[in-house]
Amino acid sequence: MRRFSLSSLLSESLNAHQGWGRQWRSPAPKAAYDAIIIGGGGHGLGAAYYLAREHGLTNIAVLEKGWIGGGNAGRNTTIIRSNYLYDESAAFYEHAVKLWEGLSQELNYNVMFSQRGVLMLAHNVHDVQSFKRHVYSNRLNGIDNEWLTPEEAKAFCPPLNISPDIRYPVMGAALQRRGGTARHDAVVWGYARAADALGVDIIQNCEVTAINRGPDGAVTGVETTRGAIRTKKIGVSVAGHTSVVMAMAGVRMPLESFPLQALVSEPVKPCFPCVLMSNAVHAYISQSDKGELVIGAGTDQYVSYSQQGGLHITTHTLDAICELFPQFTRMKMLRSWGGIVDVTPDRSPICGKTPVPGLYVNCGWGTGGFKATPGAGHLLAHTVARDEPHPINAPFTLDRFRTGRLIDEAAAAAVAH
Ligand code: FAD
Ligand code: PYC
Task: For residue range 154-195, list pLDDT tens digits in order.
Answer: 999 999 999 999 988 999 999 999 999 999 999 999 999 999
Residue 186 C-alpha to ligand 1 middle, in angstroms?
Answer: 15
Final residue of a structural domain among 296, 327, 343: 343
Ligand 2 centroid to Cα of residue 218, in Å, is 36
Q: Answer yes or no: is the C-beta of 65 below 6 A from any ligand 1 atom.
A: yes
Considering the entire predicted model, what is its pTM? 0.95
**Shortest CA distance to 359 belongs to which of 394, 384, 380, 382?**
384
Single residue among 319, 343, 367 that ends a domain in this structure: 343
The predicted pLDDT at position 4 comes to: 41
Residue 312 included in any domain: yes
Whether residue 268 is found in the same domain as residue 393 = no
Question: What phi, psi does 279 have (nearest 5°)?
Answer: -75, -40
Tell me the per-residue pLDDT of 272-314, one tens digit each, with 9 for 90 and over: 999 999 988 888 999 999 999 999 999 998 999 998 899 999 9
Task: Mark the ranges of the chain whose per-residue pLDDT is less than 70.
Answer: 1-24
Q: Is the CB of 375 under 6 A from ligand 1?
A: no
Task: Show which of 343, 367, 393 is a domain's final residue.
Answer: 343
Same domain as 295, residue 223: no
26 and 122 both lie in a single domain: no
Number of domains in the chain: 2
The pLDDT value recorded for residue 25 is 73
Alpha helix stretches (DSSP H) within 258-310? none
Ligand 2 mean position, distance from CA 415 (Å): 6
User: Both 260 and 336 in a single domain?
Assistant: yes
Alpha-carbon separation of residue 153 from 147, 157, 276 (angstroms)? 9, 6, 10
Q: Could you tell me if 328 and 364 lie in one domain?
A: no
Residue 261 counted as domain residue: yes
What confidence score (pLDDT) does residue 256 get? 97
Q: Which domain holds residue 320?
A: 118-177+256-343
Residue 87 sits at the vertex; the CA angle it makes with 349 and 51, to the nearest 5 degrees, is: 50
Predicted local distance difference test score (pLDDT) of residue 413: 87
Q: Is the CB of 367 under 6 A from ligand 2?
A: yes
Give how far Cα 417 sits from Cα of 89, 279, 303, 344, Å.
Answer: 19, 11, 11, 11
Residue 307's pLDDT is what? Answer: 86
Q: Is residue 316 a part of any domain in this protein?
A: yes
Write the CATH number for 234. 3.50.50.60
Atom 44 (ligand 1) nearest CA: 369
Residues 13, 68: one domain? yes
| Residue 133: CATH number of its domain | 3.30.9.10
348: Cβ below 6 Å to ligand 2? no
Identify whether the C-beta of residue 146 lies closer than 8 Å to the C-beta of residue 135: yes
Q: Which residues pair with 277 in a beta bridge?
A: 120, 284
Half-sphere exposure of 311 (CA within 13 A, CB side): 9
H-helix or E-strand spanning residue 401: helix 400-403
Q: Which ligand is nearest to the CA of 38?
A: 1
Q: E strands, 177-267, where?
A: 180-181, 201-203, 208-213, 219-224, 227-230, 234-236, 256-267
**Does 264 lie in the same domain as 169?**
yes
Q: Is 284 close to ligand 2, i.e. is its CB under 6 Å away?
A: yes
| Alpha carbons 49 and 101: distance in angstroms, whole number | 17
296 lines ligand 2 (CB under 6 A): yes
Write the residue with the smallest CA distance to atom 2 of ligand 2.
79
Ligand 2 near 416 CB (within 6 A): no
Give me the pLDDT at residue 23, please.
58
Pocket test for ligand 1, best of 24, 238, 304 (most atoms within 8 A of CB): 238
Q: What is the b/e burial string over 51-74, where b = at least 16 CB atoms within 10 angstroms of the residue's CB?
A: bbbeeebbebbbbbbebbbbbbbb
Asked, for residue 102, whether it belongs to a domain, the answer is no
Q: Which ligand has an atom closest to residue 62 CA?
A: 1
Residue 83 covered by a domain: no
CB-ligand 2 contact for 415 (6 Å cutoff): yes
Same domain, yes or no: 220 and 364 = yes
Q: Are residues 41 and 52 in the same domain?
A: yes
First to last CA, the chain: 27
- Reference 143, options 94, 88, 80; nearest CA is 94
Q: Are residues 123 and 223 in the same domain?
A: no
DSSP classification of residue 19? T
In a domain, 104, yes or no: no
Q: Which residue has the least CA distance to atom 1 on ligand 2?
A: 368
Tell how strand 201-203 and strand 60-63 pair up.
parallel
Does any ligand 1 atom lie closer than 6 A to the CB of residue 300? Answer: no
Q: Which of 313, 318, 319 is nearest to 339 (CA)?
A: 313
Closest-CA residue, ligand 1 atom 18, reads 208
Cβ atoms of 148 and 174 within 8 Å: the answer is: yes
Looking at residue 54, the DSSP 8-state letter turns out to be: H
